[in-house]
Amino acid sequence: MDSIFIGKNYTFLVSTDSTNTRLKELLKLENVLEGTVISAGFQTDGRGQRGATWESKADENILLSILLHPKFLSIQQQFLLSQAIAIAVQKFINYYLKDQVVKIKWPNDIFVGNKKIAGMLIENILEANFIKYSIVGIGINIKQLEVLPTATSLKLESNMEYDHKQLEKDLFYFIEKEYLLLRSGAYAIIKETYLNSLLGFNEVRKFYITQSEQEMLGKILGVLDNGMLTIKDDSSGIHHTFDLKEIKFL
């Protein structure tokens, strides 16, 4: 499986602060081709969600950032990019772990069963009402055997050895495929695929509501264009919409 443009311009750093930061710095200096990748063996300042660091040991994970030029997306459509990349990473993991249940945990973490295997952090540089550049940072646990109880790795799940370069090549292929689909304007397909890959979609499960500090049994019904999650309260039948910090999966 080969990609056309993602990863063709590729740099590997043994250790760096954060691949997203490196790519952003590069953008300040020169014109950077779409699909340019900076990959690292180790990150000293890798970031997950704001403030949360991405734990990793040297050469145990895929840690990379891809530069995209999604100028066709308006600022308001940016959640589609997050959805497309999440689908790609989910498909990539599923390709290696064919017998496991691999899902997207809203909004864009990748889970095997109920354990996290991959995450992403997307940074956009805007121009007028459009996205000029997107720096897509992806972290995937590959060989890591010591992980948090809430996390897992490819090796833990399969007990197989992997070739880092081959994994990256395959990842680029999956991402490029979804990105090109996005670029072609197939938004409805992306939204549908995302929903069908979503952890807890149309199933009753337990959530924690931050504001009321209460637990709720509910079913994910869908995701709005801005990314907000719609859940039907199982007992009252009322539909609620949640932003990222307003709800937790239990």
Partner 1 sequence: MDVKQIQELIRFVAKAGVTEVSLEQGDFKITIKTQGEERAPQAVHQVYQVPAQAAAPAPVAAPAAPAAIPAAVDNTITIKSPMIGTFYQKPSPDKDPFVKVGDKINKGQVVCVIEAMKLFNEIEAEVSGTIVKILVNDSSPVEYDQPLFVIEP
Which residues form the interface with partner 1 (CB under 8 A)?
47, 49-51, 75-76, 78-79, 81-82, 107-108, 120-126, 129, 226-228, 243-244
Q: Which CB atom, from 120 or from 216, has the smaller least distance to partner 1?
A: 120
Q: Which CB atom, from 136 or from 156, has the smaller least distance to partner 1?
A: 136
Q: Which CB atom, from 216 or from 229, has the smaller least distance to partner 1?
A: 229
Least distance to partner 1, CB of residue 29, Å: 13
HSE of 120, CA atoms in CB hemisphere, 13 A: 29
- Distance CA(81)–CA(58), nearest Å, equals 29
Q: Which CB atom, from 53 or from 184, has the smaller least distance to partner 1?
A: 53
Least distance to partner 1, CB of residue 128, Å: 8
245, 229 contact by CB (below 8 A): no
Least distance to partner 1, CB of residue 84, Å: 12
Q: Which CB atom, from 61 or from 108, has the smaller least distance to partner 1?
A: 108
| Amino acid (one-letter) located at 15 | S
Least distance to partner 1, CB of residue 38, Å: 17
Q: Which CB atom, from 123 or from 234, has the smaller least distance to partner 1?
A: 123
Cβ neighbours, 10 Å, residue 181: 17
Least distance to partner 1, CB of residue 54, Å: 13
- Number of residues that make up the chain: 250
**What separation in angstroms does the CA of 113 have from each of 86, 100, 148, 242?**
16, 7, 14, 23
Least distance to partner 1, CB of residue 169, Å: 26
| Amino acid (one-letter) located at 46 | G
Q: Dihedrals φ, ψ of 50, to 5°?
A: -25, 115
